[in-house]
Amino acid sequence: MIRSTLFLLVALLLATNAQAGIIVSDTTPSSLLPNAQPESNTDIFLYTEQQNVTLSEDLSVDYLASTGLSGVLAAGTELNSYIFNFDAVGDNYDLGSFSASGSYDFGTEILAVIWSGYRSNQLTFPNSQNLLDKSDFLGHPDIIYSDNIDGRGLELEDVFNSSTNNTQDSFVVSGSQIDLELFVRAPYADQLRVITAVKVPEPNAIMLFGLALILVATRRFKSK
């Protein structure tokens, strides 16, 4: 119950920071498999995953904000995890690609982005890392993720920038904000996991929390 309430509160706070094209969901989907609900040809959905996590071991990422390159978040890093999902409606590939774009400010520094998904064609994608699958331990405990399914992740490779595919994705990170431009074709879904620093409570919030504890302790003392 407490965990569910925490996820809901975080989702409500996130909703104030979203811009057009990104929908911050206040409900948790049961599945992020392709063609699961909700689907959309125009909107990217953002879901809250594990919060206030301390890494027990190093985590490989596709994009490290401090360098702009792939890298590692060291064991001991405290973080929050979120996932964007853009899933075209239906499973008809012949309908072509759909695009959605938008910006989102997490209100705390973005540390890393994980975007590489499973690629069955290792000849075309010999360097695929499939780091989304490997980082699903950061996912929401009530969501089924699409492990080892083609099409998960982003298509940043140049092979997707053609009239045939037209599904090359892009993102830009600036401090606590990420700008997205995604292209997707059914029956596939674009996903990327964003890792942020843990939010530090505001001084006023800390003071209010401290006063609340004092009041509770005082009432318990008086009741004895």
Sheet holding 97-105, edge to edge: 97-105, 177-185, 170-174
From residue 127, how far is each of 62, 122, 183, 213 by CA, in Å?
A: 11, 8, 21, 53
Arithmetic mean of pLDDT over the chain: 82
Check residue 133 and give its pLDDT. 94
Are the C-beta atoms of 28 and 145 separated by less than 8 Å?
no
Q: What is the pLDDT of residue 6?
A: 45
Burial category of 118 from C-beta neighbours within 10 Å (exposed 0-12, middle 13-18, buried 19 and up)? middle
Residues in the chain: 224
Backbone angles phi, psi at 89, to 5 degrees: -70, 135
Nearest to 62 by CA among 120, 126, 122, 117: 117
Q: How confident is the model over 161-189, as a mean pLDDT?
A: 86
- The Cβ of residue 102 has, within 10 Å, a number of other Cβ atoms equal to 19
What's the whole-model pTM score? 0.79
Q: How confident is the model at residue 14 (pLDDT cuts 50, 70, 90)?
A: very low
HSE at residue 40, side-chain half, CA atoms within 13 A, is 16
DSSP 36: P
Q: Which two tokens stand for residue 191?
A: 């996903």
Question: Cα 99 from chain centroid?
Answer: 18
| Residue numbers of the domain that contains 24 | 2-223
Beta bridge partners of 22: 44
Comparing CA positions, the residue from 34, 38, 36, 35 lying closest to residue 25 is 38
How distant, in Å, are the alpha carbons of 132, 160, 174, 200, 203 from that of 56?
18, 36, 27, 21, 29
Domain total in the chain = 1
For residue 160, give the 3-state DSSP assignment.
Answer: helix
Q: What does the pLDDT look like over 102-153, one tens digit per residue?
A: 999 999 999 999 999 887 776 566 667 899 999 999 999 999 998 888 878 8
Instruction: Check residue 138 and report its DSSP letter.
Output: G
